[in-house]
Chain A
Amino acid sequence: MHLRSYLQIAGLWIRAAWQYPTSFVLLAVGNGLITALDFVGLWIMFAHLEDLAGFALHEVALLYGSASLALAVADTAIGSVERIGSYIRTGRLDQMMTKPVPLLVQVCADQFTLRRLGRLTQAAVVFGWACTYVDWTPTRVLVAVSMLVSGGLLFFGLFVGFSCVQFWTTDATEFANAFTYGGATVTQYPLTIFPREVIVGLTFVIPVAFVNWYPCLYLLGRSDPTGMPEAFQFASPVAGVLTMAAALLVWRSGVRHYTSTGS
C-alpha cells in the first residue's frame, strides 16, 4: 500500500522531469558519459593490478559490483531522504506531514529522479561479468540474491538513520554522507587491506561488511582471511533487517523531536 503511494508520487516526479525533454536527455547523456569514464578508470586500475590483497581481478569486481549495485538501488529509491534538512528549512516537511501518506514514504519519493540509472547499469554490468566466474550452486544463488536485497536494506537503513541527524541539527548532510557513501567506497575493496579494528567496526558498528564482503567470501568459496565466524557469510539479511529497524526507530524519534521552523 505504501509502495503504491511511493510509486504514484515518484511517477509524477518523472512526468515533471519530462516537461523539459531537452534537459532530461542532456542529463541522461551526461550521466552516460560519466559512467563510461568510470568504466575506463576501473579498467585502468585493473589493467595494472594482477591482484589486490590476494584477490584476483574478477573477485574484486564481484565485491565492487555488488556494493555499487546495492548502493545504486538504495540511492535511486530513497536518495532524497538526505535532503530532509532543506525540507525542514523550507517548510516542505510541514506540508508533507499534513498528507495521509507516511512521512518517510513521501520524503523518499520526493524529487525522484532516474539520474542514478547510469550508475545502476554500470554496477550491474560489472557484477554480471564477475558472476560468470562464480562456481554457482543453489545455495550460492540464494546467498547472492539475499546479498543484493540485504545490501539495499543496509544502505537504506544507513541513509535514513544518518539523515535523521538533521532533525536535531539541520544541515548535516555531509556528516551523513561520510558514513553512507564512505561506507560504500570502503566496501568496494577486499576488507583485508584494512587493519582488523576497521573490519570489526565495519561489522558491528556500521555493518557495511555485510553488504558484500561476507556473502562474497561464500560465493567465492574462500575462508575468511580475518578469521570471523563463518556464520557471518549468511548473516546479511539479519544485519539488513536490524539496520532497517534501528533506522526506523531513529526516524520515529526524529519526527517526534521535530520542531519545525517559524512562520
Chain B
Amino acid sequence: MSVTEPLIDVRDLERTFDVRRRVEGRRRRVRDSVVAVHDLTFSVAAGEMVGYIGPNGAGKSTTIKMLTGILVPTGGRVRVAGLDPSRDRVELARRIGVVFGQRSTLWWDLPLRDSFDLLQKIYRIAPGRYRDNLAKFVDLLDLGDQLDTPVRQLSLGQRMRGDITAALLHDPEVLYLDEPTIGLDVVSKGRLREFLRALNEDRGTTLVLTTHDLQDIEALCDRVVVIDHGTSVYDGSLAGLHAEGGSSRTLVVDLVDEAPPISVPGASVRRVDGPRQWLSFPAQASAAPIVAAVAASYDVADLSIQEPDIEDVIRQLYSRNV
C-alpha cells in the first residue's frame, strides 16, 4: 500500500450538458440538461495500465476531456498529478501526453521531423533529452526512414506511430490513448502494443487507454474500468470482467463433412450450418484443450476463434447490475 496520492484521482465526478431540443408544436427550442457523467469515482496509481471502456456515448470521451482539462466538470473533483486539470491546464499539459486516434497533431505538409522539432521548442525539452528520446522512439517504432517524409505521404500506421512519438517526447507521466489501434493492420497493432508495454516497463509511464478492441486490453491492461450511462459499472481485472459478464469466446469449426453437433468437454455447440459449427466456451478458459479435443475426434478442415465482443460483455454486465 502506497501512502502517496494516486496519480489520477476522480471523485464523484459529474458533467452535464445543456442542449436545446426542438419540440413539436413549439416554436422555441426547449432547454434540456443531459447527464454525460455522474457519480464517477476511481483512481489510478502511477505505473498502472488501465483500459477505460464502455459503449459509445457512455461518457468515455467526456471523462478523458475532464482528465486533460479540456472540459470543466460541473461537479465533483479531479486531480491529475496533484493538479486541477481545468484550472492548471497549461501546466498539466507538460506532464501528460494525449493521442486522439483519429486526429493527427502532425503538420500534414511537412516532414515528421519538423513537427517533432516544434514540440521540442514548445515543451522546452532539453536538447540532450530530446535527442535521446527521439532516437529511442524512432528506433523502437521503426520510423527512421520516415523522419524526412512529409506526413501526408505516411501510411495510417506510420502516422499513428508518429503521433505517439509526438505525445511522448516530453516524457509525460501519463499517456492517454483514444482508440490507438483503430484502422491498423494486425502487424501494426501488435507492434504498437509491444511498444506501449515496453514503455510502461522501462519508464513507468502510466497508460489510460480507451478502445473498442478487446485485444488491446488483453495485451496491455491489468485493470479495466467499465463505464456505462456515465458511471463506473466495473473496476477490476479483465478476467474478472469476463467472469462477471458471463462472456464467452466462440470456436468456429469447419469440418470436412457434415456431422451431428460436436460433443467435447468444456464447450457447447451454439449453431450448426452444414459442415460449419459454432462452439462457445467461457472467455477465461484456454482454447487449447478444446481445440485439441475437437481435432482428436473429428476431421477438421479449418478452425478459428472469435473473441467476445466488448459491447456484448458490457451489455450483459449492465443488465445484471440492473
Contact = CB atoms under 8 A, between A and B. Distances in A.
Contact of B114 (A15, A90, A101): A15
Contact of A260 (B57, B70, B91, B107): B70
B302 to A, nearest CB: 38
A12 interface: yes
A8 B110 contact: no
B118 A100 contact: no
Given A8-B118, A101-B122, 16 more contacts: A16-B108, A19-B150, A91-B103, A95-B105, A97-B69, A97-B93, A99-B122, A100-B90, A100-B91, A100-B93, A100-B94, A100-B123, A256-B72, A258-B71, A259-B17, A263-B61
Given A8-B118, A100-B91, A100-B93, A260 B65 contact: yes
A97 B122 contact: no
A12 B112 CA distance: 12
B98 interface: yes
Top 7 A-B residue pairs of the complex, sorted by shortest distance between their CB atoms? A100-B93, A98-B98, A16-B109, A19-B109, A100-B94, A97-B70, A8-B121
B195 interface: no
Nearest to B119: A99
Interface of B: 17, 57, 61, 65, 68-72, 86, 89-91, 93-94, 96, 98, 100, 102-103, 105, 107-110, 114, 118, 121-123, 150
Given A15-B114, A99-B93, A262-B61, A94 B100 contact: yes
Contacts of A99: 93, 122
A16 to B, nearest CB: 4
Nearest to A99: B93
Interface of A: 4-5, 8-9, 12, 15-16, 19-20, 90-92, 94-95, 97-102, 256, 258-260, 262-263
Contacts of A92: 103
B93 A94 contact: no
A100 B70 CA distance: 12
A151 to B, nearest CB: 30
Given A20-B109, A260-B65, A260-B71, A97 B89 contact: yes
B136 to A, nearest CB: 22
Contacts of B57: 262
Nearest to A16: B109
* Residue from B70, B86, B90, B102 having most chain A Cβ neighbours under 10 A: B70
A10 to B, nearest CB: 11
16 contacts: A4-B121, A9-B118, A9-B122, A15-B114, A91-B100, A95-B100, A97-B68, A98-B68, A98-B69, A98-B93, A98-B96, A100-B90, A258-B71, A260-B65, A262-B61, A263-B102
A88 B6 CA distance: 32
Contacts of B96: 98
Nearest to B65: A260
A118 to B, nearest CB: 23
Contacts of B108: 16
A20 B17 CA distance: 43
A99 to B, nearest CB: 6
Contacts of B109: 16, 19-20
Contacts of A94: 65, 70, 100
A228 B114 CA distance: 54
* Residue from A91, A262, A263 having most chain B Cβ neighbours under 10 A: A263
Contact of B86 (A4, A8, A12, A256): A256
Contacts of B71: 258-260
A102 B90 contact: yes
A258 B61 CA distance: 15
* Residue from A12, A92, A100, A256 having most chain B Cβ neighbours under 10 A: A100
Contacts of A8: 118, 121-122
Contacts of B98: 95, 98
Contacts of B61: 262-263
A21 to B, nearest CB: 12
B106 to A, nearest CB: 11
A53 to B, nearest CB: 45
Given A94-B65, A97-B68, A256-B86, A12 B114 contact: yes
B112 to A, nearest CB: 13
Contacts of A98: 68-70, 93, 96, 98
A105 to B, nearest CB: 10
B107 A12 contact: yes
Nearest to A5: B122
Contacts of A262: 57, 61
A262 B17 CA distance: 11
